[in-house]
Copies of this chain bind each other. A is one copy, B any other.
Amino acid sequence: MAQPQVKALIFDTFGTLVDYRTTIIREGAAWNQKKGWTVDWAKFADEWRGQYRPNMDKVMRGELPWMNIDQLHRMALEELLPKYGINDLSEAEKTELNTIWHRLLPWGDTVMGLTYLGMRYTIAPLSNGNVALLSNMAKHARLPWDLILSAELAKAYKPDPRVYQTAVNLLGLQPEQVMMVAAHQEDLLGAQKVGLKTAFILRPLEFGWSAIPDLTPDPSFDVVANDIVDLARQLDCC
């Protein structure tokens, strides 16, 4: 079902387009080998990601000053490292580990799906990740964005309405001309409140095969798709 009034699609990234958990596990295995560590990187990834929402919430409640996601990831990393017995990293090594979020690998359908969608629509991320993170990620993973949009440009975190409204304004469009694409229902419901169209992507493996989330979509979403190529098919792009 084509969406004739939609001009731009904006995408959540972590979990929706890129597989942070698998990437951290794989890069972590290389750190273990290099350093002789025995870190459980699946657990490490889950704990690191687990601090993401609470830390953004602290920023939004004013308990922390504005910090971008690189800074929040680093703050969480500083707490996690000693907990996992890692006390021997240089500043350069900590930066290298923290910027793993700039090198996340896309799900297998992501690049093909975005390429199809980009033929008909303006496409951009709208992530809580900061601009530098998202543009480095795009260069690394070859995500064919037309522009980078980020919560950083609104100095607020999704699902705060200012994030979606800022994106719509910068695109020079009306809310109903923009569709938010995400694997997270809270994100879509936030976008909906501002008047955006919504597409829910099913990502059962975001948290690993042993923690499949409830994927029952809210009936209000405009599109529900199995992956990004399926979204492109439903929007008549391939």
Which A residues are within 8 Å of any B CB, using their own CB? Answer: 70, 122, 124, 130-136, 138-139, 145-148, 152-153, 170-173
CA distance A148 to B150 in the complex (A): 12
Chain B residues in 8 Å Cβ range of A130: 170, 172
Question: Chain A at the B interface: mostly helix, strand, loop or mixed?
Answer: helix
Contact B148 A136 (CB under 8 A): no
Chain B residues in 8 Å Cβ range of A153: 153
Return A131 CB to nearest CB of chain B, in Å: 4
- Contact residue among B134, B135, B147 (Cβ-Cβ distance under 8 Å from A131): B147
CA distance A134 to B171 in the complex (A): 10
How many copies the complex holds: the figure is 2
Q: With A130-B172, A132-B170 given, can you name 14 additional A-B contacts, CB distance below 8 Å?
A: A122-B135, A122-B136, A122-B139, A131-B147, A131-B170, A132-B171, A132-B173, A133-B172, A135-B147, A138-B147, A145-B147, A146-B148, A147-B147, A153-B153
Q: Which of A124, A133, A147, A153 has most B Cβ within 10 Å?
A: A147
CA distance A198 to B183 in the complex (A): 42
The 8 closest A-B pairs by CB, nearest first: A132-B172, A147-B148, A135-B147, A131-B170, A135-B146, A139-B146, A132-B171, A122-B135
Chain B residues in 8 Å Cβ range of A122: 135-136, 139
- Given the known interface contacts A122-B136, A139-B122, the answer about A170 and B146 at a Cβ–Cβ threshold of 8 Å is no
Chain B residues in 8 Å Cβ range of A147: 131, 134-135, 138, 145, 147-148
